[in-house]
Structure 1
Amino acid sequence: MQNIAIIGGGAAGFFAAISAKSAQPDAAVTVFEKAGRVLAKVGVSGGGRCNLTNSFADITDLKQAYPRGDKLLKRLFKRFDYNDAYQWFEAHGVRLVTQDDNCIFPLSQNSQTVIDCLTQTAQRLGVTVCLHHALVGIVKQAQGKIEVHFKDKPLRTFDKVIITTGGSPRANGLQYLSDLGHKIETPVPSLFTFNISEKAFCNQMGTVVEPVLLSIPATKFRSSGALLVTHWGMSGPATLKLSSYAARHLAENNYQSAVAVNWVYETNTQLVEQNLVAIATENPKKQMANIRPYNLPTRLWEYLLHRSDIDKEKRWGELGKKALHKLVETLTNDVHQISGKGSFRDEFVTCGGISLKSINPNTLESKVCKGLFFAGEVLDIDAITGGFNLQAAWTTGYVAGQDASV
């Protein structure tokens, strides 16, 4: 009889346990969680509603959703993808609803529904859950078994071990895996807001513009979506997406960088200029502040006029060529300075972890320690917001559980 340990009672851990026990009912499967409760991160996901996957309808290339790990997931999705996840949860009593933005939530709009489904399914299958078990180390025994050492608890020996401890904020949290010979990609934060120190910008707090184009000048990093101006800077989907794409770049630059906003979601500056000229031709006597192109919010439009050195009381018919060009530049390439990062509530995500070069891409088994598997965010896989991170947990948990049970 196989004796399988899952270290970490989060989304990937529970799915790995359910997958292993479903594939091998005779196996002894135990989930070890260091905290006093399981699935805490699932509980806060999606603002407590649990955005458990995505329809992927807008995704033409997995790299759009997964800045790191897209190639591995493309391979693993052949075994368990978002359609499989949707069907699995529905078959296990969680009715789902797909929003207009392609995010998929439980119909109950309550993450507890997902937590109950996972814990009850695991219990019904006979999975054991041990709380207050903090992992401190792993030792590979000569005869092939794996010793698992816990803080203030007796060591346990297993045939197979699946590590599902989630993202580690610091590399030293993965030192025990590095000591076994695994390559570690240095963990850095992903999914965070941008601090902007310019007071006039932050005075626009509460303003939402959708969609905008965001980019980091002189790089290929760009995103689109809604931008929310906050009292500390930039937030909203466009910001979080860009923070994910540029996670390493921003960390290397100590979160000090330029960020350009295209407020009008139009990269053809000639079209923007033509639009402004048409407004001026039709409304020569109207004050600049009173006609807002692209339906920009009033406060923001007045702020952008100020950024362009244009008096808001100036008449459209008095807009000269030089001022016109400055206004076009401000609307399409408004550059601000990032002066640090904020956090994204409790949905902390890390970029980095176990290098994908250290694992078998078909089974998620370690290349350097036979019988040791990985699933979830401990791997160097992370995603933008929208249910993609949880989908990676379901997929990798399913594959690791299936192959560890063999």
Structure 2
Amino acid sequence: MGKIAIIGGGAAGYFLAANLGKELGKDTVIFEQAQMPLQKVRISGGGRCNVTHACFDPLDLVEFYPRGKKELLSVFYQFQPGDTMAWYDDRGVELKIEDDNRIFPVSNSSMSIIECLLKEVEKNKVRVNFSDGVKSINKVEDGFEIETASGIHRFENVVVTTGSTPKFWKIIKNLGHKIISPVPSLFTFNCKDPRIEGLMGISFDQVDVKIKSEKLESEGPLLITHWGFSGPGILRLSAWGALALNERGYKFDAEINFIQQSKEDVIELLNSKKNQDAKKSIYKYNPFDFPKRFWVSILQYCKINENLVFADLSKKQIEQIAKELTAAEYSINGKSTFKDEFVTAGGVDLKEVNFQTMESKLVSNLFFAGEVLNIDAITGGFNFQACWSEAYIISNKLKEIY
């Protein structure tokens, strides 16, 4: 009988195997249904791998998790982003902190992380079974009986690191665990509107976004895409509003302040332009820091004549422009997945897991790590950090057992 079965060859599964040491490693098997491991690590951050985030206080760190905030506090007190950086640095992978506090390999390649994990797992002599998906898990007297594509296997401990996989959640449910129904967490907003038509690629450094009907608001960079709105500001809002927006069928109104100024401030600025730049063409002179194409689009939407100069602007026109820049309402109709980095809210009920050890409270010697749990975060390396931390805790617990 083997000692440890790790089900899932992703970030959490490999980080766990990399931390077991040789004694436990040689009695450990990773079961992975795909032909290659670490697929999400490979594509994360546009292929650069956003390893973690430069937030080193657990009390601050948990604020980035819409689900799992309370439970992760004890986890991050045991292993946080500073520990992650040290772990990779000790193994020759140099990391860097970018201006927005996201952390990447200096190489700008996810292969630096993948090769490190593969090397550590191989060093620990952990066996990896590719194309060997798990069909069922049964609790038996001295451990677990696992049926996979390659046959029946028996292990003393099972660690589930399968990610957000509905098929596997059924297996966990059969073991007695409650599964919170999954809904998408990180997604972009679909919007067809004349104000943004043909403006794909235009970005804004900082905007405020509100969904008044749900009392949700967020700030951050925004990107206009061919399907609507994306960018960190939108993704953050989608994470916090995952459940509520799912219930609405992803149909709602979003209010956007593109310049993070008040309507009154914009009115004052445009009135000053009537005096200071009275003879300047409104269409040719954009008084704001966003791209001129968006300014022209707003003027056209407000039906302002192309031949007007600033002195010609009426009080009503100024108020209309100010509203479009600071409190414009856009009808959202649907969502799109953010690149290939699909994240869900949902999974194993957190009340049924001991977060000091990541062990099931219902089934002894059964552990969980990663997105199989009802934990998710905004974009920026936070989801990976939860994987690293949870896996590290499990490795320590298993070392205690043996």
Distance in structure 2 (CA, Å) of the matches to 1:58 and 1:318: 54
Distance in structure 2 (CA, Å) of the matches to 1:130 and 1:404: 21
Q: Which residue of 2 aligns with 1:6?
A: 6
1:374 aligns with 2:373: no
Match of 2:243 among 216, 233, 248: 248
1:174 aligns with 2:172: no
Pairing of 1:121-200 with structure 2 (within 5 A): 121-141=120-140, 143-150=141-148, 152-168=149-165, 170=166, 173-200=168-195
Residues 50 and 2 of structure 1, relative CA distance in 2, 3 Å threshold: same
Q: Name the SS of the counterpart of 2:254 in structure 1.
A: strand
Q: Name the SS of the counterpart of 2:283 in structure 1.
A: helix
Report how many aligned residue pairs link the two structures. Answer: 400
Distance in structure 2 (CA, Å) of the matches to 1:127 and 1:221: 46
Distance in structure 2 (CA, Å) of the matches to 1:310 and 1:217: 29
Distance in structure 2 (CA, Å) of the matches to 1:39 and 1:82: 20
CA contact (8 A) 1:264 1:332 kept: yes
Question: 2:76 is aligned with what amino acid?
Answer: F
What's the CA shift for 1:111?
0.9
Question: 2:13 is aligned with what amino acid?
Answer: G
Distance in structure 2 (CA, Å) of the matches to 1:20 and 1:347: 28
1:230 aligns with 2:188: no
Residues 59 and 356 of structure 1, relative CA distance in 2, 3 Å threshold: closer
Distance in structure 2 (CA, Å) of the matches to 1:263 and 1:64: 25
What's the CA shift for 1:305?
2.0
1:338 aligns with 2:329: no
Distance in structure 2 (CA, Å) of the matches to 1:40 and 1:344: 16
Q: TM-score, normalised by structure 1?
A: 0.92
Residues 262 and 64 of structure 1, relative CA distance in 2, 3 Å threshold: farther
What's the CA shift for 1:370?
0.9
What's the CA shift for 1:139?
1.1
Q: Which residue of 1 aligns with 2:396?
A: 402
CA contact (8 A) 2:62 2:69 kept: yes
CA contact (8 A) 1:57 1:102 kept: no
1:357 aligns with 2:356: no
Pairing of 1:26-37 with structure 2 (within 5 A): 28-37=27-36
Deviations 1:262-298 (A, max 9, x none): 11022x3333332222222312222322332322211
Residues 229 and 120 of structure 1, relative CA distance in 2, 3 Å threshold: same
1:214 aligns with 2:209: yes
What's the CA shift for 1:114?
0.7
Question: Comparing 311-320 with 347-356, which one deviates more in the overlay?
Answer: 311-320
Question: 2:183 is aligned with what amino acid?
Answer: V
Q: Name the SS of the counterpart of 1:147 in structure 2.
A: strand
1:288 aligns with 2:282: yes
Q: Which residue of 1 aligns with 2:19?
A: 19
What's the CA shift for 1:220?
2.9
Question: 1:149 is aligned with what amino acid?
Answer: E
Q: TM-score, normalised by structure 2?
A: 0.93
CA contact (8 A) 2:194 2:301 kept: no
CA contact (8 A) 2:26 2:124 kept: no
What's the CA shift for 1:47?
1.0
Distance in structure 2 (CA, Å) of the matches to 1:191 and 1:316: 42
Question: 1:154 is aligned with what amino acid?
Answer: G
Q: Which residue of 2 aligns with 1:270?
A: 264
CA contact (8 A) 2:58 2:73 kept: no
Unaligned runs of 5+ in 2: none
Identity of aligned residues (%): 39
Which contiguous aligned blocks of 4+ residues in structure 1 show a shift greater than 6 angstroms? 57-60
Q: CA RMSD in A?
A: 2.1
Pairing of 1:45-84 with structure 2 (within 5 A): 45-56=44-55, 61-62=60-61, 64-84=63-83
Q: Name the SS of the counterpart of 2:118 in structure 1.
A: helix
Q: Which residue of 1 aligns with 2:199?
A: 204
What's the CA shift for 1:52?
0.7
What's the CA shift for 1:338?
1.4
Q: Which residue of 1 aligns with 2:86?
A: 87
Unaligned runs of 5+ in 1: none
What's the CA shift for 1:117?
0.4
Deviations 1:32-90 (A, max 9, x none): 11111111111111111111111127997435421111222222111100000000000
Residues 241 and 202 of structure 1, relative CA distance in 2, 3 Å threshold: farther
Distance in structure 2 (CA, Å) of the matches to 1:197 and 1:296: 21
